[in-house]
Every structure is written in C-alpha cells, then in structure tokens.
Amino acid sequence: MSTRIKGISLYKNILRAHARYLPHEMKQLGDAYVKAEFRLHTKAQPEQLEGFFAEWDKYLIHVERTGREKQLVDAALIDAAPQQQHGNNANQTINRKKGFGQDVSGEVPFNDEQKEQLQKLREEAINAAKK
C-alpha cells in the first residue's frame, strides 16, 4: 500500500472513531488536532512516516477499545467495578469506568516533547471551551 493511501485511510479511520466514540467537544478538538498533525506531515520522508503512522495506529486502537468498553459499561453488558489484572503485577486493578477525558496519573513519565504536546492540547481545549 502506498504511503499516501495508508495515510488517508488512517486519517479517515481516526475521524470515524472520533465520530463514533468521542463526546462532541472532544471530537471537535480531536478532529482539529488530527487534521493539523497529518497536514504537517504531508511532505515528510517515508522513514519518518513509519513512526508517525505507528503512533497514530496505537491511538486509533486506544480510542476504539476505550469507546467500546464505555459502550459496554453504559449498556450494562460488563461490570463497571474495577477488575483484577492478571499478569506481572496482580495487585494492580483496571477500572473499566475510565473513559475519555480522565486525568493522567502523576506516575506516568513524559518526555519534554510529550509535555509540550500536552500543554498545546490543554491550551486548545481551553480555547475551544471559550468559543
């Protein structure tokens, strides 16, 4: 698949996921952010696009998974109570009630670039709320 076709397909899938799973305010902000990011990468080199697409693929999977879980909880098809996680750390719990727009734990390490992106996103969200 050509890089251009892959990019367009990924972009459309993200917008569809936003329309299906995100609350209206978050959809508007998310759509604008995705549009700006993809527009910035229209002239990027193929080796740069591989990483770009990989990260947006992860994002798409996260939106779809979180959105589906929220729909199941809302429809009372799964329990919203925390579930025990099996694996390396059995003491951790997963709260299925979590959805979009939740605060990020202070334990999550961010690099400087990620912190800068989060700050830009925060500013855009504040500006969007004022409109």
In tens, the pLDDT along 14-34 reads 999 999 999 888 899 999 999
pLDDT at 85: 45
Classify residue 22 by burial, with Cβ atoms within 10 Å: 0-12, 13-18, 19+.
Answer: buried
DSSP-assigned letter for residue 87: S
Share of the chain above pLDDT 90, in %: 41
- Contact between 82 and 93 under an 8 Å Cβ cutoff? The reply is yes
The arithmetic mean of pLDDT across residues 58-87, rounded, is 75
| Amino acid identity for residue 78 in this structure | I
Annotate 26-81 with DSSP letters as a single string: HHHHHHHHHHHHHHHTTT--HHHHHHHHHHHHHHHHHHHHHHHHHHHHHTTSS--S
pLDDT at 74: 75
Query: Is it the case that residue 108 has pLDDT exceeding 60?
Result: yes
Query: Is it the case that residue 39 has pLDDT exceeding 50?
Result: yes
pLDDT at 61: 96
**Position with higher pLDDT, 102 vs 42:** 42
- Nearest-Å Rg of the Cα atoms of the chain is 17
- Contact between 94 and 6 under an 8 Å Cβ cutoff? The reply is no
pLDDT at 72: 82
pLDDT at 2: 84
